[in-house]
Amino acid sequence: MSQLRVPHDRRSDIRNIAIIAHVDHGKTTLVDALLRQTRVHRKIEDMGERIMDSMDQERERGITIRAKNASVTYNGVKINIVDTPGHADFGGEVERTLRMVDGVLILVDAKEGPMPQTTFVLRKALALGHKAIVVINKIDRPDAVIDDVVNRTFDLFVHLGATDDQLDFPIVYTSAIKGIATLDVNKPGTDITPLLDTVLEKIPAPAINAKAPLQILVLALTHDSYKGKMGVGKIQSGSIARRQNVLVLGKESARNPGKVSDLAVYAGLERIDIEQAEAGEIVAVAGLDEVSIGDTIADAEQPLALPRVTIDEPTVQMTFSVNNSPFAGREGKFLTSRHLRERLFKELETNVSLRVQETDSPDRFLVAGRGELHLGVLIEQMRREGYELQISQPEVILHQDGGRVTEPYEELTIQVPETYQGAVIEEIGKRRGEMRHMRLVHSDAGPSEMHLEYHIPTRGIMGLKNILLAKTRGTMIMHHVFKAYEAANEEDLLVTPHGSLCAYEDGNSTAYALFMTQERGELFIGPGVAVYRGMVVGENSRDEDLDVNVCKEKHLSNMRASGSDEALVLTPPREMSLEFAMEYIGQDELVEVTPQSLRIRKRLLNPEDRRKARKAGK
């Protein structure tokens, strides 16, 4: 039977903290400052910016995707730091890592203030009883409104039901990029030490029960080239040593005996091997092949399970299938359903918010995640590893609740120049967005901005970003975070339909044919691109599909030469990104993803088959 021993002692030489915030409020930059000023590595100055963002996609996208551990030593105390993602789609990473720590630093931008993801992560932290230190970051911004941000942050704590002790939070003012912190905004700091002093003073030392049997709740998995799979978690009670026999308590009362082959702790940016660790420390344990996130590593003689970590359910799903286009197998290394299945189920080991379900077809899998970006990162990672696959249009996951159908709703925040507010309000109104708050933010550093907050169904957000970016000329900033499941509205959303330009035959596109086609709509390809029948080569200016011949050549005649295309002026094609393709496709379209290419195609490649399907559907 699962039991949780009540800790009765604290370990004063360790602090375990998580850094949480909305996306782009400066978490990873603040960690940079902490690592540099505590000199955790002799080559720390040569490591560039955003040291903790080690994945290629993290550096390219400028966001944190996976939570990561590091540590610094200050005044004889080891501070274990967990850098968490700021984007709502990776909230599962935040939820589980908060169980590993005893307090949080919540970063708030000195201009933007609390945002949707700030609310999400703070709600989780307060529910676990964590003490928070509020860090007002980017105080050097010319448009900073520090007093207003502090007041809104306090209001947020009250709104989320913080206790009196949690409401008595300390405030530290920082400029992470300059590496300075101060407790008085009117007295500029010189280094980051005021923040470290506040951590030691205000964040409680880990509560432990040193004499009780071993208990470690596994909250992350990592892989080592030599040691294999390693379970990461905080030792809640007891101690652990190399070559110790343990019992892994898993789902549904599963009990898997094992032996600790290697044991490591975090020192700076690296894991270092140790022989033994005591309660309160965050450790990585190797040698337990059956371990997974949520399991308890327990004493072999007195096994006691800790409550499993619970993660919010996914809200969006899409179909991953084997690539069966005419160009299948040209670029990828992993092509078969066996390869696809193995890779998806391997991802489940570390991606706690993901769900994979087999379908009636062995070539197709239903994959559910926390949002389009969550699934998009997985697809991009698989693509870089050499996989070929096809993906369908993302769909929201509906729930049955006591005979009624419910769908996910989200909190949507948009910042847009005042000039474009009308276009934004009109488009979101079509998608059943309910405005909750609207305010005009004046700025001395630039034009005034309109700050809009909406309550909107998740399916209303799909495809919204590209449309709003076009209507606001790329000046809009948009964030959204899952709120709750609510009753589904049976009315169809008035989402703007689109028509596609489809290639009529196989071949290579020519400048002459594209010049003749571009007046029909916006093209996705340039000249000299291999296409196949049924491949989408552009978006029609009308809301209906149109088959076009983009391979047509200009033939020699007695009036003109076949090669005189110098006078043709082609509009540059729309750049095809994975996010654009996922938002663009309709129900009858797929995205073909290969290591080198992204193509949009029709499910039915033959134009005649598509016409029959349309007639049958009417």
Q: What tokens were used for 484?
A: 């709750």
Does the predicted model carry a pTM greater than 0.85? no
d(CA 3, CA 6): 10
Model confidence at 53: pLDDT above 50: no
The average pLDDT across 580-607 equals 90
The yes-or-no verdict on residue 3 having pLDDT over 50 is no
The answer, yes or no, to whether residue 533 has pLDDT greater than 50, is yes
Q: What is the tens place of the pLDDT at every residue in 129-178?
A: 888 999 998 888 887 888 889 998 999 899 888 888 889 899 999 888 88
Calpha distance 96→303 (Å, rounded): 22
Residue 253's pLDDT band (boundaries 50, 70, 90)?
A: confident
Per-residue pLDDT tens over the stretch 448-481: 788 888 999 988 888 788 788 888 888 888 888 8
- Asked if residues 133 and 170 have their Cβ atoms less than 8 Å apart, the reply is yes
Of the listed ranges 463-467, 511-515, 572-576, the one predicted with least confidence = 463-467
Q: What share of the chain is helix, strand, coil (3-state, %, to 5)?
A: 25, 35, 40
**Strand-strand pairing, 530-531 and 399-401:** unpaired
Alpha carbons 296 and 111: distance in angstroms, whole number: 42
Q: Are 379 and 593 within 8 A, CB to CB?
A: yes
Tokens of 429: 């109104």
Torsion of CA 429, 431, 436, 441, to 10 degrees: -70
Q: What is the mean pLDDT of residues 586-606?
A: 91
> Residue 485 pLDDT more than 60?
yes
The dihedrals phi and psi of 319, each to the nearest 5 degrees, come to -95, 130
